[in-house]
Each structure stands twice: as structure tokens, then as C-alpha cells.
Amino acid sequence: MKMKLIPLLLTAVMILASCQTLETATSIATTIGEGAGLVSSSQAESLRKTTKAVARSAEEFTPEQEYYVGRSVGAVVLAKYPAYDNGKINQYLNLIGQTLAQASDMPGIFGGYHFLILNSDDINAFATPSGLVFVTRGLLRCCRSEDALAAVLAHEVCHIELRHGMQAIEKARLTEALTTLAAESAKTFGSREVAALTETFGGTITDITKTMIDKGYSRSSEYDADNKAVELLKRVGYDPNGLVDMLVTMKKNLKAGGLDFAKTHPSPENRITEIQKDGFKYMAVKATAARQSRFQQALGNI
């Protein structure tokens, strides 16, 4: 028995020299025990499972996986609302939006931030976990200045930064998704594994789009995005009063009973009250003539 243990100990030392995680070590040590016939295979299996469960709870999606989740969430949004195919105005939106995103606390996102106008009179906007931001023409009509438009885009960027989309994934699904991903990621996929993963993926997309499009995030998530947007606007040099201006116009434009922001967001009045809680005093937006003129040129006829 003693002689038998020497190679085991040697292996243990070798593992120690290169071990990367507790789970690897346990897995290898368990295999050794199992191979030597000293741990039964069912014991070995449960030992592996226990360690894995501990490791799993700390796991997160990689930015690359969020990117693929976000692309499909975007594809669902675009199945509901058609894109507004106008290169010039979309470019204007991206100049403002991508600048805000770069100045945010999360400029590093797998595929970058991209902004697109949706051809709809609804007052609506969506931000996918992968950095795709959609704004309807109806919402753009609530903006009377570039600062107001910047406020709309900053609010969406902040939803991404605060990870509200990913948080909409139901807990059971999250566990299922992360477990499937971890179990399958090492293998070369067969069609069965791809089918199983696709089902989990589809469930994830449904969780996010249901919340984002139909139910809306919690009121506190919306207030958090507003407050963070105010900070981001100041950082870049936009006037945060633009957010209040936009909400005042939104209040006039929203139609009761609508399935857009009328349903998914707290009322503009409440949002204004929340923004002004921490000593924020409204003053008329100050913008240069050049800024107002390029805004009118881009969105005057939206």
C-alpha cells in the first residue's frame, strides 16, 4: 500500500505545480483515486459534481456570448419594428451615441456600440446586452435639441452598462444556461448538443425580450439609468437638462394605453421628479448655434 501511494503523491506534487483551479485538481485527484480502484465510480462522479456546482455559481457569460445573445435580441426587435433606412440620420445618431458609449464606464464591449432608428410612431427604445441601441422616430420627435437626443441615447447606454438586459434572464434559466455552457464548451459539438444549446439560447432570448419589449424593466432600473445618464452627459459635455426637456415633450406625446413607453416606463413626471431628487435644478438647455443647427438639419423632419 505504501509503495502504491508514492506515485500518487508524486502526481499530487506535479498537480500542485501546475494546478489552475480547484476543480481541475479535484477532477484529476478524483480520477487518480478512481483509477487506483480506491474510490468507486459513483463516489467519483458525485465528488466531481459537488466541486463543479461550487465553481458554477461564480461563472458568468463571456462578452462573446453576450454578443450573440444581443444580436438575436436585436433581430427580435427588428422583427417587431422595421429599420429606418436613412444613412445620414443614422450616422448622426451614431456620432452622438458612440461618443457617449466611449465615455461611459463600459466602453469595452465585444462588438462595439451601434445605433439605429426604427421606423415607427411609437415612443420606444431598446438596448441589447451586446451594445445595439434602437430608437423609434416617435421617440426622436420628443427631442428638441441635440442634448435631449444625447439624453435618450445615454439612458440606453446606461441600461447596457448596468446590465439590465442580462438581469432579465430568469434565475432557473441562468443556472441551466451556465451549466449547459460549461458542460458543452469543452467538446466539439454534435448536432444534439447544438440543438440543446439552441433551446437554452432561445429561452434566454425570450426572457430578455419579454422584459425589454413587453413588461419593461423595474421602475428603479429606469431611475438608475436616468441618474447614470445625467452623469454621463455631464462627463461628455452635454447639458443634462436635455433629459428633462425630452421628458416634458414625451409627456405631451405619449398616448394613454399605448404599448410603448406608456406601458413599459414610469411616467415622465415621475422620472423628472426622481432626476431632481439629488439637488438637480432644471435650467433651460444651453447649446451653441452650431449644435442646434446641425440637430435641426438632421432631425427637423423626423
Partner 1 sequence: MTRVGGIIFVVISSCLFFAAWGPAQAPNKMNIQIMDGQVRSAPSFLGTIVARLTYGDSVDVIKDEGAWKKVALRGGVQGWMHSSALTTKSIILKAGARNVQTSATGGEIALAGKGFSEEVEKKYKSLNRNLDYAWVDRMEKFQVSPEQMQAFLKEGGVTPAKGGVQ
- What residues from 14 to 73 belong to the interface with partner 1 (CB under 8 A)? 15-16, 18-27, 29-30, 33, 36, 38-39, 55-56, 58-59, 61-65, 68-69, 71-72
Least CB distance to partner 1 at residue 132 (A) = 6
- Name which of residues 252 to 291 contact partner 1 (CB under 8 A): 287-288, 290-291
Least CB distance to partner 1 at residue 207 (A) = 13
Residues found in the chain: 302
Question: Could you report how far apart the first and last alpha carbons of the chain are, in Å?
Answer: 83
Residue from 175, 216, 236, 245 touching partner 1 (CB under 8 A): that is 236
Compare residues 111 and 270 and give the one whose CB is closer to partner 1: 111
Half-sphere exposure of 255 (CA within 13 A, CB side): 9
Among the listed residues 115, 20, 129, the one whose alpha carbon sits nearest the alpha carbon of residue 64: 129
Q: How far apart are CA 287 and CA 146, in angstroms?
A: 8
Least CB distance to partner 1 at residue 216 (A) = 22
- Name which of residues 137 to 156 contact partner 1 (CB under 8 A): 146
* 76 binding partner 1? (CB under 8 A): yes
Compare residues 108 and 300 and give the one whose CB is closer to partner 1: 108
Least CB distance to partner 1 at residue 187 (A) = 8
With contacts defined by CB under 8 A, how many residues of the chain interact with partner 1? 91
* 185 binding partner 1? (CB under 8 A): yes
- Name which of residues 93 to 132 contact partner 1 (CB under 8 A): 94-96, 98-99, 102-103, 105-112, 114-116, 132
